[in-house]
Amino acid sequence: MAVMHRTTITPTKLELLNSWLPDRPWYDGGPGGPKLEKAGGFRLDDPEGEVGIEFMVVTDASGPQLATYQVPLTYRGAPLEGAEHALVGTMEHGVLGKRWAYDGCHDPVLVAQLPALIEGRAQAQAQSISNTPDREVTASYTGEGSLSTDFAPTAADGRESTEVAAPEGATLRLHRVLQPAPDGPFVPGPGVIGHVTGHWNLPDDARARGVFATLHAGNRA
């Protein structure tokens, strides 16, 4: 289970994102740079206990309208070979020492654990509390048979989401720009066979709920 350390991190995660976010194709902030606040998120456990996995939600007030972004991150104690393009930055953790933070869509550990969450083989964990499941994160899978474990950490950014290809042509889509969902249960669109929903905080202390990820069926031979 995820263990949270009460310690210092330099630079902070928001400071790392301040310089990283503006270059993303799905970022649409104002010309003065991001004005970020942490709004929520959750964690997943690495079965090997080596890699930190966090799905961070931040709001940005730099544009004409408030924007909400989901940033999946992984934290490692050494560089991930071949993932230089996905490095968000490095930071010094008061307990764990130097950590390399990556865009988790390009990290094989996160890419393996998100389908496990969708299928019910993994449990979402609270973002800031040790050993505590996050009951507000819901996941569902309606496809036939078990999901493949061969999702590859090769991702393509779009204007609002990042897509990760899976076997049989299936696609795992991580929603980068989050939108509050209507009240009531999530209604999947055509071809959606799995999803993850969660909550985040708004600046007026209201709570919003939306879709964090969807799994889209491919064509089977």
**Residue 135, pLDDT score:** 94
In terms of Cα–Cα distance, which of 165, 188, 168, 178 is closest to 72?
Answer: 178
Q: How far apart are CA 135 and CA 124, in angstroms?
A: 8
Structural domain harbouring 147:
9-216
Q: Has residue 3 been placed in a domain?
A: no
Q: Has residue 140 been placed in a domain?
A: yes
Full DSSP string of 86-147: GEEEEEEETTTEEEEEEEGGG-HHHHHHHHHHHHTSS--B-SSSTT-B-TT-EEEE-SSSPP
Sign of the torsion angle spanned by Cα atoms 103, 55, 77, 115: negative
Low-confidence ranges of the chain (pLDDT < 70): 1-7, 94-95, 153, 219-221
**Residue 151, pLDDT score:** 78
Decide: 162 and 176 in contact? Cβ < 8 Å.
yes
**Residue 220, pLDDT score:** 42
Q: Has residue 1 been placed in a domain?
A: no
Q: Has residue 123 been placed in a domain?
A: yes
Q: Has residue 128 been placed in a domain?
A: yes
- Cα-based distances in Å from 197 to 69, 84, 117, 181, 217: 14, 30, 11, 9, 18
**Residue 43, pLDDT score:** 96
Calculate the CA 214 to chain-centre distance.
12
Q: Has residue 95 been placed in a domain?
A: yes
Q: Has residue 169 been placed in a domain?
A: yes
Sheet holding 171-175, edge to edge: 138-141, 192-201, 207-216, 171-175, 161-165, 155-157
**Residue 3, pLDDT score:** 58
Q: How far apart are CA 119 and CA 19, in angstroms?
A: 34
**What is the tally of structural domains in the chain?**
1
**Residue 20, pLDDT score:** 96
User: How would you label 35-48 residue by residue, b for 16+ Cβ within 10 Å and e otherwise?
Assistant: ebebbbbbbbbbee
**Residue 32, pLDDT score:** 85
